[in-house]
């Protein structure tokens, strides 16, 4: 995620992450250090802390994608193909978890004049639940707390604990090594239950891997392929998506090669790819890019893509700014019915209002930023 990557880690342990605690009270939150991005565009997105004092989960840190190189100004969004993807989940609605930073703020600030707009346009929407802390003793129960509460709705969960995540940036952390990560993913998978669930597997882990040497990338790819197989074997209803970065980062052909090496072309481990996590690229551009990636990737015809539309309503800033840039707006509401060929869902993976580190500490909720996005 050099500069255009998805700033998942940069936002810190709080952004966009839902935290779920078990009886042990462990908190699933990332604690990244605030550092400057070496690139000109957004880095990986950091989710909000995924832990609370109840058996619920809070949003975890989601970074804004940082792009490794400058890119052309995005084209205005246009309506895409009518036909919904046959790979789209069967359920009609996404699960909205009741524990997040924005919901906490709304409850505590009923008299704030910004509250009605933030509540109706952000807090009322379903968003991803991140699990960013390496807490193997409690991860199963935290994941189960979310999936079991979802009922007939579809939860979106984000395992975010790969070693060397964010290449030592603001969302650094994760498991101590790949063997520990493999064991953590097995415990994560044990909490998925048997219902339909969308898994956003390790944002930035594939698109942002330049900090690893060839041997390290090979080992990470093997671990990600095992993770996908483990998740789908634990729950055949789980739909697992792999990191495709975004349209301003790696080329579709390059990213497809990276994805293939990580198992994303195999039906045993993958249902497709995700793009734009915590970034601002327009939906039309991301959909076109995702289809190019899928075409280059090969694999089963049913592979699809999901797009993070949480902050892309006005597209990316022309100057490449990635850290809480002004003038942004909310994108399409989260939905499993996009009407766009091979695009399975629009999701809010990065929770709007959680800072990249400029309007507040990375991953913390900024009501001013949320209000600006809601008005944008």
Closest CA to 220 of 231, 228, 212: 212
3-class state of residue 167 by DSSP: helix
Distance CA 152, CA 149 (A): 9
Spot the catalytic one: 22, 28, 164, 204: 204
H/E run at residue 117: helix 115-118
Q: Cα dist. 201→108, 189, 205 in Å?
A: 33, 12, 8
User: Among residues 166, 285, 308, 372, which one is catalytic?
Assistant: 166
* 99, 285, 356, 372: the active-site residue: 356
To the query of whether residue 372 is one of the catalytic residues in this protein, the response is: no
CB 239 within 8 A of CB 195: no
CA pair distance 63, 3, nearest whole angstrom: 12
Q: How far is CA 364 from CA 302, 352, 373, in A?
A: 37, 11, 15
Helix (H) / strand (E) containing 275: strand 272-275
Is 356 marked active-site? yes
Q: Would residue 243 show up in a list of annotated catalytic residues for this protein?
A: no
Cα–Cα distance measured from residue 297 to residue 37, given in angstroms and rounded to the nearest whole number: 30
Q: Name which of 300, 304, 210, 306 is nearest 258 in CA terms.
A: 210
**Rounded distance, CA 369 to CA 14, Å?**
15
> Is residue 284 within a helix (H) or strand (E), and if so which, with residue range?
helix 283-297
Rg over CA atoms, the chain: 18
Between β-strands 65-66 and 45-47, what pairing exists: parallel, antiparallel or unpaired?
unpaired
Q: Give the whole-angstrom CA distance, residue 87 versus residue 9.
A: 29
Beta-bridge partner residues of 129: 157
Rounded-to-10 torsion of CA 211, 215, 221, 222: -150
CA angle (113 as vertex; 109, 117 as ends), nearest 5: 90
Active site residues: 166, 204, 356
């Amino acid at each position: 995620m050099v500069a255009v990557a998805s700033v998942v880690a940069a936002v810190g342990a709080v952004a966009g992450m839902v935290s779920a605690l078990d009886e042990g009270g462990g908190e699933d939150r990332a604690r990244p250090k605030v550092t400057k991005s070496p690139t000109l565009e957004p880095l990986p997105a950091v989710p909000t802390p995924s832990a609370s004092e109840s058996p619920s989960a809070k949003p975890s840190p989601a970074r804004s994608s940082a792009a490794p190189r400058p890119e052309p100004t995005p084209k205005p969004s246009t309506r895409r193909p009518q036909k919904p993807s046959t790979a789209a989940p069967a359920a009609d609605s996404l699960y909205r978890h009741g524990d997040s930073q924005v919901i906490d703020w709304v409850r505590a600030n009923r008299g704030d004049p910004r509250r009605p707009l933030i509540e109706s346009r952000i807090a009322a929407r379903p968003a991803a639940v991140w699990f960013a802390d390496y807490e193997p003793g409690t991860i199963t129960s935290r994941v189960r707390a979310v999936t079991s509460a979802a009922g007939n709705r579809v939860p979106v969960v984000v395992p975010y604990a790969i070693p060397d995540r964010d290449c030592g940036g603001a969302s650094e952390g994760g498991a101590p090594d790949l063997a520990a990560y493999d064991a953590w993913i097995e415990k994560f998978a044990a909490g998925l239950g048997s219902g339909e669930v969308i898994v956003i597997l390790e944002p930035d882990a594939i698109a942002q891997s330049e900090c690893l040497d060839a041997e390290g990338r090979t080992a990470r790819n093997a671990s990600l392929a095992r993770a996908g197989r483990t998740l789908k074997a634990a729950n055949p209803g789980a739909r697992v998506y792999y990191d495709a970065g975004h349209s301003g980062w790696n080329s579709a052909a390059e990213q497809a090669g990276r994805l293939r090496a990580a198992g994303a072309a195999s039906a045993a481990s993958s249902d497709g790819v995700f793009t734009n996590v915590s970034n601002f690229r327009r939906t039309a551009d991301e959909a076109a890019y995702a289809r190019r990636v899928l075409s280059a990737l090969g694999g089963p015809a049913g592979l699809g893509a999901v797009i993070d539309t949480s902050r892309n309503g006005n597209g990316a800033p022309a100057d490449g700014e990635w850290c809480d840039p002004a003038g942004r707006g909310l994108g399409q509401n989260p939905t499993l019915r996009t009407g766009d060929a091979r695009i399975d869902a629009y999701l809010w993976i990065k929770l709007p209002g959680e800072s990249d580190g400029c309007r507040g500490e990375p991953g913390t909720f900024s009501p001013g930023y949320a209000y600006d996005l809601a008005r944008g």
